[in-house]
Structure 1
Amino acid sequence: MITSTKPDARRNASPYLYGQEAAAVAQVLESGQYGHSDVTEEFEHRIAEFLGVPDAVAVSSGTAALHTALLAAGVGPGSEVIVPSMTFCATVQAILAVGAAVRFIDVDPATLCVTEQLVRDAVTDATAAVVPVLFGGRAADLMGARGELNARGIAVVEDAAHAFGSRSGPHLVGTAGALTCFSFGPIKNLTCGQGGMVIPRTPEEADTVRRLRLLGVQEPQGERANTTTYRVGGFGMRYQLSAINAAIGLAQLDHFATTADTRRHLWRTYRDALAPLDSVTLVDVDVDNAVPHLCQILTPHRDRVFTALRARGIGVGVHYPPNHLQPAFAAWRRLLPATERVGREVLSLPFHQHLTETDIDVVVTALGQALAS
């Protein structure tokens, strides 16, 4: 193990707190209002304000955001959802949770994101929604295909778990007309400890997600204390975001400009350090517009490099094994040559805000040695 490697380089990802989060949580605990409360609603308001959108609906996780967004878009049994295989399995599980079938598609190996043409080629009469995954923080721009999809009644539900704060051209992710889902999990660019957010397209979608996150109860939570009954209007889950988690998110949001600048600087530092290495391709996140969530390379020597770096205490990882090759999703397996090559070659380097330029130098030096061995 390299003794010069700090613990920060031994972790592939790590939460980063600014110091105000503990006090914010303590204030919630002192209030006695631990569940959904006005703190949760303040977090919703602040996210909507940050994005410049009319509304934002907080839920308990990014997976919950995808599940409720698909339901709000009317996706259900008998329909089909187009989704890249190159994503975390949560994306696929949310589609299966609404009873829809999965149609896996390939990605552009340069970005690990879908393209308009890949989506167009995959659309069938059964397609109800497309779920582009904004991989690593890069915005997958489907604006050119949006009119065609809308004309066919096909919803665009963005899996923006990696992409809070990123842009596609002039548009912040969540503002370009898609039903957008964010994740605020422990290692995301903005964390609530655990949480998610749906950015609805219409007031009706917002109302639907709010009912779904509270077990289908129609009355807003604050009104139930003043009545002897309530109405359950349909299916729902317990997907509320607690005030404890919202308080963490509010504290994080105050520092998000610093988060974005730091992550862009770290990614550019990796880019410059990796440039001399042969047999390595850096996955492009469009760093000038994205807030990077991952720093990934492609190398045909991935497995050998992975083993060598792990043995030397460096926290590399693989994001992600392709879903169309997973046993649980075998019913929807199809040939996806680009994804299958990427699945063999992709390697995530340590990437989080605790890293220093010295840490990155240690990682890249060890990578070069592993490639040369």
Structure 2
Amino acid sequence: MTTPSRPDTARNASPYLYGTELEAVSQVLADGQYGHTAVTEQFEQEIARYLGVPDAVAVTSGTAALHCALLAAGVGAGDEVVVPSMTFCATVQAVRAVGAIPRFVEVNPDTLCVEPDAVLAALTGRTRAVLPVLYGGRAVDLGAANDTLHERGIAVIEDAAHAFGSRLNHLRVGATGALTCFSFGPIKNLTCGQGGAVIPRTSAEARKLRGLRMLGVVQSQAERQATTGYTVDGFGLRYQLSAINAAIGLAQLRRFAEAEKTRRELWCAYRDALRPVDGVTLVDVNVSHSVPHLCVVRVRRREQVFRLMKERGIAVGVHYPPNHLQEAFKPWYRPLPVTEQVGEEILSLPFHQHLTVAEVHHVAASLADAVAQAQAGGAQ
């Protein structure tokens, strides 16, 4: 009799490819033009069409998108940016890259996203932007804060690195009026291998962003090839998305409905499997409106549970250690008791499109055992 194979939950998340990416990249390589080309511009157009917005500006990464968006919004030295501490450090490093000051705020412990009242309470006379993080793929609705932010000229710049494809009510994230930044990194909902995009609010902002991502040069590649010169109209960086990466993104976008379906099904499988487990709280991503990027739980005695899960060969992680406790951001420390508490409890479960529902159930059962073992050990 054959022994059933053990579910492969030890592997870390890796890009999920559909098979068409290789042909798309091969075509770019055969064409011999690897920089920002018409392929990049086609990717921008198709992203904009998918989101239902007039324009999208592709860049090299989600961090580059945040950096460019902050610059385009006029955020600079000495300005304050309201930002949750519960995010990847890239969010805060982008704030520091423009010389601005992070003003850390609490998150809702059930969603790990900021709430309007926390944002309003954090505003000062120096606040120039609010940077909500769409944690795990959940859209953030600042609701009652929006009128105040608009009246005070404070930009809303969304870190939507986790949230490509998600919705706020009936609108896709990116189409809700904020200056939205996406990541198309290796393991994001949609990957370019490496890449990102900014969704501008106006045509003037789109032009500004295109200059910023191309060393201040405002002409497209086709326009530059048709003349003997080009114009540099301001500061810029080398943040343009290569045709190779754009080709991967185009292939991914054409299959994105599959990613959306699979990610929702896997998250719901975790939700159902974990519902009866004592001592485990699932962080809510509002799955009916989201394309989930993470599956995160809160557990007591997290360090013991983490170790026990690793011993069982399950690739758990922590997203993220709170930034206001990091040495690099110590000058801007504020006490955030909710964030500090959840920072000691959060545990990311394996979540990627290579998973099967059977593997999800294996992870959930292992987590139940690990939590029970950790609690029993703590009671001794």
- TM-score w.r.t. the length of structure 2 is 0.95
Aligned to 2:369: 369
Give the partner amino acid of 2:154.
I
Deviations 1:118-163 (A, max 9, x none): 1011011100000000000000111332121011000000000000
**Which residue number in structure 2 is paired with residue 283 of structure 1?**
283
Alpha-carbon shift at residue 4 of structure 1 (Å):
4.7
Q: Which residue of 2 aligns with 1:87?
A: 87
Deviation at 1:222, TM superposition (A): 2.2
AA in 1 matched with 2:337: P
Give the corresponding residue for 1:141: 141
Q: CA deviation at 1:12?
A: 4.0
Q: Which stretch has the larger CA shift, 216-225 or 58-67?
A: 216-225
For the residues of structure 2 that align with 1:108 and 1:221, how far apart are their CA atoms?
45
Q: Could you say what secondary structure the match of 1:291 adopts?
A: coil
**In the alignment, structure 1 residue 71 sits paired with structure 2 residue 53:** no
Report the CA distance between 1:312 and its aligned residue: 1.6
Q: Are the counterparts in 2 of residues 12 and 349 from structure 1 also a CA contact under 8 Å? A: no
Q: How do 1:105-120 residues align onto structure 2 when only pairs under 5 Å count?
A: 105-120=105-120
| SS of structure 2 residue aligned to 1:93 | helix
Shift of 1:310: 0.7
Greater shift in the superposed pair: 200-209 or 355-364? 355-364
Residue 56 in structure 1 maps to residue 60 in structure 2: no
Residue 244 of structure 1 aligns to a residue in which SS? Answer: helix
Q: Work out the number of aligned pairs and report it.
A: 370
Partner-residue secondary structure (3-state), 1:104:
strand
User: One-letter code of the match for 2:174?
Assistant: G
CA distance in 1, matches of 2:234, 2:5: 58
Amino acid at match of 1:49: R
Check the 8 A contact 1:5/1:313 in 2, yes or no: no
Secondary structure at the counterpart of residue 144 of structure 2? helix
Please state how far the C-alpha of 1:165 moved relative to its aligned partner. 0.6
Match for residue 331 of structure 1? 331
Aligned-residue Cα RMSD (Å) equals: 1.1
**Which amino acid counterpart does residue 246 of structure 1 have in structure 2?**
A
Preserved contact between residue 103 and residue 332 of structure 1 (Cα < 8 Å)? yes
Between 226-235 and 56-65, report the one with greater CA deviation: 226-235
2:350 pairs with 1:350: yes
Matched with 1:6 is 7
**Counterpart residue identity of residue 210, structure 1:** R
Output the CA distance in 1 between the equivalents of 2:79 and 2:221: 32
Moved more, 196-205 or 213-222: 213-222
Q: What's the offset of the Cα at 1:357?
A: 1.2
Corresponding residue for residue 24 of structure 1: 24
Q: TM-score, normalised by structure 1?
A: 0.97
**Superposed counterparts of 1:190-339, under 5 Å:** 190-339=190-339
User: Counterpart in 2 of 1:171?
Assistant: 171
CA deviation vs aligned residue, 1:206-253 (integer Å, no higher than 9, x gap) = 001100111112333322223333332221110000011011111111
C-alpha separation in 2, matches of 1:209 and 1:105: 28
* Identity percentage of aligned residues: 65
User: What are structure 1's unaligned runs of at least 5 residues?
Assistant: none
Runs of 4+ in structure 1 off by over 6 angstroms are: none
Letter in structure 1 aligned against 2:108: D
**Partner SS state of residue 227, structure 1:** coil
Map Cα deviations across residues 315-337 of structure 1 (whole Å, 9 max, x no partner).
Answer: 00000000000000001011001
The farther-off stretch of 29-38 and 152-161 is 29-38
Amino acid at match of 1:322: P
SS in 2 for 1:10: coil
Per-residue Cα deviation, 1:35-56 (whole angstroms, up to 9, x for no partner): 1111100000001100111100
Q: How far apart, CA to CA, are the structure 1 residues paired with 2:318 and 2:284? A: 16
CA distance in 1, matches of 2:218, 2:289: 40
Q: Aligned partners of 2:289, 2:146: CA distance in 1, in Å?
A: 21
2:7/2:362 contact within 8 Å kept: no
Are 1:72 and 1:208, in contact at CA under 8 Å, matched by a contact in 2?
yes
- Structure 1 counterpart SS, 2:129: strand
Q: d(CA) in 1 for partners of 2:167 and 2:290?
A: 6
| Contact 1:60-1:241 within 8 A present in 2 as well | yes
Give the partner amino acid of 1:197: A
Tell me the CA shift for residue 171 of structure 1. Answer: 1.6
Q: Is the 8 A contact 2:299 2:371 kept in 1?
A: no
231-240 or 158-167, larger mean C-alpha shift:
231-240
Shift of 1:254: 0.7
1:39-74: per-residue Cα shift (whole Å, max 9, x none)? 100000001100111100000000000000110001
Does the aligned pair in 2 maintain the 1:185–1:194 contact within 8 Å?
yes
d(CA) in 2 for partners of 1:211, 1:372: 55
Does 2:126 match 1:126?
yes
The letter of the residue matching 1:132 is P
Q: Is the 8 A contact 2:309 2:367 kept in 1?
A: yes
CA distance, structure 1, for counterparts of residue 107 and residue 13 of structure 2: 24
Matched-pair contact (CA < 8 Å) for 1:12–1:317: no
